Structure formats: structure tokens, C-alpha cells
Amino acid sequence: MAHFAKLGPGNIVERVEVIANEIITDNNQQEQENLGVEFLRNLYNDPQAEWKQTSYHGNFRQHFASPGFFYDVALDKFIPPKPFSTWILNTNSYIWEAPVSKPNDDKKYYWDNNAVAWKEKA
């Protein structure tokens, strides 16, 4: 199965559709993203819709797209929503990280964005 993310305003993923691999396979048995985009535009009668293929296993475009993810055109990657305003995007993994390392012990912690710190759960 092939997965395609519909992009809305600001390149934010609105939804993900699943279509059969046969739809995106050309006469040379090669998968072509543009065939899936054309199929979905025709299916929804929306010739201007922006669709991008996404990989369930993260084989391309870094992450499997989900609603709320951002599609970065320059990087050609899907980036998950930023969980907290203080977190920083790791440009190797494209995962948001806290600006302070979480303590490495057996205690349970939560992120306190106002304090910009990990707090121990009571």
C-alpha cells in the first residue's frame, strides 16, 4: 500500500490516504509518486491539491506523515509538530528535543515549559 499526505495551508498535513501500489506503478513496474498525486486529485476532483507520498517505515521524507505534521519543501521532509515552544529541532533526526537533557536515572520526569526544565513526578 502507498500512503499520501494531503497538504493544507502552510504545508501542514491535513490527512493521509492509502492507495494500492498498482495505482502508482508505471508500465516499467516502477513506482511513480506523480501517478498517486494524479489519482488523488482526480478522485477528490481537486486538481490543485498538494499531495506528497509518505513512507510508513520512514524510508524517505524522514517521518511517516500524520495530521499536524509540517512538510518542509527545502528539506523534502515531514517534521512532527513542535511539542513545546522551547524545544529545538535536531537537524540529524528531525525530532524535537528539550533544550535541557532529561536526567538519566530511574525517576519519572515531565517537561515544565515555563521553567524550561525537567521536573520529577510526585
Co-location of 73 and 86 in the same domain: no
**How many domains would you assign to the chain?**
2
The 3 state secondary structure assigned to the chain is CEEEEEECHHHEEEEEEEECHHHHECCCCCECHHHHHHHHHHHCCCCCCEEEEECCCCCCCCCCCCCCCEEECCCCEEECCCCCCCCEECCCCCCEECCCCCCCCCCCEEEECCCCEEEECC
Q: Tell me how far apart the terminal alpha carbons of the chain are, to the nearest angstrom.
A: 45
Average pLDDT score over the chain: 96
Co-location of 31 and 69 in the same domain: yes
Co-location of 39 and 70 in the same domain: yes
Co-location of 71 and 118 in the same domain: no
Percent of the chain whose pLDDT exceeds 90: 96
Co-location of 118 and 102 in the same domain: yes
Co-location of 63 and 89 in the same domain: no
Co-location of 64 and 91 in the same domain: no
Co-location of 69 and 89 in the same domain: no
Co-location of 7 and 44 in the same domain: yes
> Cα separations (Å) of 77 from 70, 72, 73?
8, 5, 7
Residue range(s) defining the domain that contains residue 87: 82-122
CA distance linking residue 69 with residue 112, whole number of Å: 23
Last residue of a domain, one of 81, 98, 114: 81
Evaluate if residue 58 carries a pLDDT over 90. no
Q: 89 forms bridges with which residues in the sheet?
A: 96
- pLDDT for the residue 105: 94
CA distance linking residue 98 with residue 115, whole number of Å: 12
Co-location of 69 and 116 in the same domain: no
Q: Binning pLDDT at 50, 70 and 90, where does residue 33 land?
A: very high
Co-location of 40 and 73 in the same domain: yes
Chain-centre distance for alpha carbon 87: 17
Co-location of 71 and 57 in the same domain: yes
